[in-house]
Structure 1
Amino acid sequence: MSPEKQRIIFMGTPDFAVPSLTALNKMGCEVVLVVTQPDRPKGRGRKVVYSPVKQTALELGYSIAQPASVKTSEFFDLINSCTPDLFVVIAFGHILPKNILAIPKQGAINLHASLLPKYRGPAPIQWAVINRENKTGITAMLMDQGLDTGDILMTSEIDISSKDTSSLLHDRLALAASDLLIKTLSGLEANTLTPVPQDNSLATYAPLLKKKDGRIDWSKSAEDIEAFIRGINPWPGAFTMNGEKRLKIFAADVIASSIKQPPGTVVGETREHLFVATGKDLLSIKEIQEESGKRHNIKDYLCGCNIRPGTILG
């Protein structure tokens, strides 16, 4: 059955999944239902907002379901009534139970933002940057009941540059996912894909990052801290404390140095630079923001706020 004639149920929630849903629409696929997370309050005003996938589905005229749970009989009946040939699942946010996965005639495809079996889990993009990987990618797999454990159908590699933030890498990977999805559907139609089991002995996990996880550990090397700052930009955002004052760090450079000071010690401050000792080398902070303040480059920030040498950040 050609991809255009398949009855597809698409499941996804965040921005990452939007290019793939759009690609299915452009290809002329029959998307019989879009399943996404329930609307949630967001921001200081706690205004209820649609997920990016719901917003796109509304614009494209698709039917939408937003179950609070995928384990209810009501959700099973809804999915079963759609008589789907295939699920396409991208960053949905739920693990589908066995009875749901058994519904589509041709199974379920999941696209994951790593080269599996590395970085299974909810935050593969961030951890790839944090861990200073030089490449990552997208994996298209057949879904099973495990967390990103299904047999691999296709992969697409993406280089990670030394300047990539998780945000920049996210956007490139989202587009790569949409391209790989179409190639995977075409490969399945042509019967040219052979599912390959993952080597579980090589598996690593990319756990969800919480706000508290953004605190900088100055005992690590400057290289590791700089990658950490990029990897959690924009969420949860790297920060350190200057006394009771929370400082958010957006960008930094590594400065080779033999200076030996306790990690977190400010060892140099001029009108344009702020250098901090780490476990190895110095970190030159480039962009900074005080809590409830504006984001500044370091030169502008130091014009109005001095952080004297000997100050210990933590």
Structure 2
Amino acid sequence: MVSVQPEARPTLRVAFFGTPRFAVPSLEHLLRSHHTVAGVFTQPDRPRGRGQRQSDAPVKQVARENHIPVLQPDRLQDTVVLETLRDWHVDLGVVAAYGRILPSTLLELPRFGMINVHASLLPKYRGAAPIQRAVMAGETETGITIIRLVQALDAGPMLGSATKTIETDETAEQVEHDLSFLGAALLMRVIHDITAGTAQEVIQDPAQATYAPRLTKSEGLIDWTKSAQQIHNQIRGLYPWPHAFTYLEGVRHILLESRVESTARSDSPLVSAGQILRASGDDLTVKTGDAALAILTIQPEGRRPLRTREFLAGHPARPGQVFGSP
């Protein structure tokens, strides 16, 4: 009897480009696979956290723990970057929330090109903040799309996608966590298809493209004339950064958790948007443009986050006061 040996799986040498926590599951899946992570590119170290201490980015930490070479170039156009990729004999480049656009000289270098793990259902939400923008827009579904990188922003052919439901009260942080693992699993399937020669590319429809620009701190200021649902989505979408915030008696307050109230219990024209309707026990309810919003967790400037009961016990918020601008 002649034994038939299973066909050997091609082993790729992969260069990984990523920086934040979102990229970690993709890197870890590659490290556990039969492929070789030749090296990691990540953003230069920057101050992080409330204390603004210099610390390693999550991807760098994982790479160091696994003794993977790490490069943190200030400029991807530097010749040392191209020379390093050549020295690593890279077959495939994988990008996951790296934070910079790769120059064309890098895109063309690996044998199988460069692919990107993007946190939206492309062509919707191209850009730097797809998760936050989707939550802020009140989307009920999002997902991961893996694309072949081209010079235009997130416009390359699609190699695979996977969807995720956005629950009513999910924050951007929670959605990002789920998508990071969904993306890692999809990445491995796409790489398998690439090596097997079965990957199918689907061209994006540019007419359907929308954009998700980088977040700014000023977007956190709440406009209480908007609907309760819009403000609730803003609070969810801007958590954990840059946060949705408002002012009470000149003091900045970050709103961390909320609930839409179906009625304001006051349709009087004398009640203005942002006015506190109830402030007792666990109930801190604020008038919005269409109804009302219950604040569940709040953080006064310079303080830790507080549940409503604890906040009201130590702060003189009362009905009739108005949340608004400074």
TM range (shorter): over 0.9
- State, as a whole percentage, how many aligned pairs show the same letter: 39
SS of corresponding position for 2:222: coil
Distance 1:4 1:52 in 2: 29
- Equivalent residues of 1:136, 1:158 under 8 A apart: yes
Q: Which residue of 2 aligns with 1:304?
A: 314
Quickly say closer, same or farther: Cα 1:64–1:4, change in 2 above 3 A: farther
SS of corresponding position for 1:24: helix
For structure 1, the 5+ residue unaligned runs are: none
Alignment of 1:89-238 (within 5 A): 89-238=95-244
Q: Which residue of 1 aligns with 2:28?
A: 22
How far has the Cα of 1:43 moved from its partner?
3.7
How far has the Cα of 1:96 moved from its partner?
0.7
- Equivalent residues of 1:3, 1:185 under 8 A apart: no
Distance 1:193 1:76 in 2: 27
How far has the Cα of 1:311 moved from its partner?
1.2
Deviations 1:221-278 (A, max 9, x none): 0011111111111111111001210111111111122633221111222232111111
Q: Which residue of 2 aligns with 1:40?
A: 46
Q: Which residue of 2 aligns with 1:278?
A: 288
How far has the Cα of 1:44 moved from its partner?
5.0
Q: Which residue of 1 aligns with 2:303?
A: 293
Q: Which residue of 1 aligns with 2:3?
A: none
How far has the Cα of 1:14 moved from its partner?
0.5
Quickly say closer, same or farther: Cα 1:153–1:306, change in 2 above 3 A: same
How far has the Cα of 1:294 moved from its partner?
2.0
Distance 2:207 2:230 in 1: 26
Letter matched to residue 217 of structure 2: K
Normalising by structure 1, we get a TM-score of: 0.96
Distance 2:307 2:282 in 1: 9
- Equivalent residues of 1:3, 1:29 under 8 A apart: no
SS of corresponding position for 2:309: helix
Quickly say closer, same or farther: Cα 1:305–1:75, change in 2 above 3 A: same
SS of corresponding position for 2:15: strand
SS of corresponding position for 2:255: strand
Distance 1:294 1:300 in 2: 11
How far has the Cα of 1:46 moved from its partner?
3.6
Q: What RMSD, in angstroms, separates the aligned Cα atoms of the two structures?
A: 1.5
Which of 241, 255, 270 is matched with 1:249 structurally? 255
How far has the Cα of 1:2 moved from its partner?
7.2
Letter matched to residue 237 of structure 1: H
Distance 1:33 1:4 in 2: 18
Distance 1:189 1:42 in 2: 38
Letter matched to residue 251 of structure 1: E
Letter matched to residue 310 of structure 1: G
Deviations 1:169-206 (A, max 9, x none): 11100000110010001111222221111111111111
Quickly say closer, same or farther: Cα 1:298–1:101, change in 2 above 3 A: same
Deviations 1:101-133 (A, max 9, x none): 111111111010000010111111111111111
Pair 1:240-2:246 in alignment: yes
4+ residue stretches of structure 1 with deviation over 3 A? 1-4, 43-46
Distance 2:282 2:170 in 1: 24
Size of the aligned set, in residue pairs, is 314
Quickly say closer, same or farther: Cα 1:272–1:45, change in 2 above 3 A: closer
Quickly say closer, same or farther: Cα 1:74–1:280, change in 2 above 3 A: same
Letter matched to residue 212 of structure 2: A
Quickly say closer, same or farther: Cα 1:3–1:267, change in 2 above 3 A: farther
